[in-house]
Amino acid sequence: MRGTTERAGETALIRSAQQGDAEAFEQLVRAYDQNVLRMALNLLHSQEDARDIYQEAFLRVYRNLPKFRFDCSFSTWLYRIVANLCLDQLRKRKVRSEEPAWIETSDGQVDRFQFLPEQRADVNPERQLASTEVNTRIREVLDRLTPRERLVFEMRHFQGMRLRAIGEALGVTEEAAKNCLFRATQKMRAALGDFV
């Protein structure tokens, strides 16, 4: 949980940005932009789309900042914007068919999962192979979730947001967000089966 001082600092920054202080706005952006970009990349698997989401989200924040009345936290408001943009994007196109399973490198095409951080203790090649298979399977399962399940899962697992905050960001109750996460994890568990 963020400290009171930090929140007070953020409030002051928002108020300055509302007055047109460009530096304050930049500081607000820098406080959240890595997470926003990571969330968009995780969900859309496309740098181009993630870049678009980033721009659109922060521009919307900038344009609507004077109307921000502190009815909710700034992060909830920002994530609401990002979540809606990501949901639109996920619904608009079939992400599954577009995302590349391979990454272009100077050494040619490489499976993107080779870039995942390795576990140093795991030196057994068989375990390593199994681990790659698990990662591939996990990604397949994630792609099979509905856009909303995917989003809730991303926000809880990778962004570490509480279900209450997720509910606020998506405009649903905490219970609805919990059900969504529950369905997502059930699907993950069922699909992963003996893999882990």
Partner 1 sequence: MTCQQAQTRLSLYLYGELDFAQEEEIEQHLAECALCERALLREKSWHTALNAGNTDVSLDLLAECRQTLKKAVSRSNFKPMPHAFRLRRWAELFGFSGTRWSLGIAAASFLVFAGFAAARWIDRNGLSAGMPGSNLIESSLISPSNVRIRDIQPGGGDRVHIVIDRVREQAIDGRLGDQDVRQLLLSATRDSDPGIRVDSVEMLKDQNGDDVRDALIASVEHDPNAAVRLKAMEALRRYTDDPGTRTALKFALENDDNPGVRSEAIDILAPANRSPVLSPDLAGTLQQIMRSERDEYVRLRCLRVLREMNASLDVY
Residues engaged in binding partner 1 (CB under 8 A): 5-6, 8-9, 12-13, 16, 18-20, 22-23, 25-27, 29-30, 33-34, 37-38, 41-42, 47, 50-51, 54-55, 58-59, 62-63, 66, 113, 116-120, 122-123, 128, 131, 134-135, 138-139, 156-158, 162-163, 178, 181-182, 185-186, 188-189, 192, 195-196
Q: How far is the CB of 58 from partner 1 (least distance, A)?
A: 5
Q: What is the DSSP letter of 70?
A: S
Q: How far is the CB of 96 from partner 1 (least distance, A)?
A: 16
* Among the listed residues 105, 111, 95, 119, the one whose alpha carbon sits nearest the alpha carbon of residue 42: 95
Task: Kindly report the backbone phi and psi dihedral angles of residue 103, in degrees, each rounded to the nearest multiple of 5, phi listed first.
Answer: -115, 135
Nearer to partner 1, 23 or 88 (CB): 23
Q: How far is the CB of 192 from partner 1 (least distance, A)?
A: 5
String of DSSP letters for 123-166: --HHHHHHHHHHHHHHHHHHHHS-HHHHHHHIIIIIS---HHHH
Helices (H), 19-171: 22-44, 47-64, 74-92, 95-98, 125-144, 147-153, 163-170
Q: How far is the CB of 135 from partner 1 (least distance, A)?
A: 6
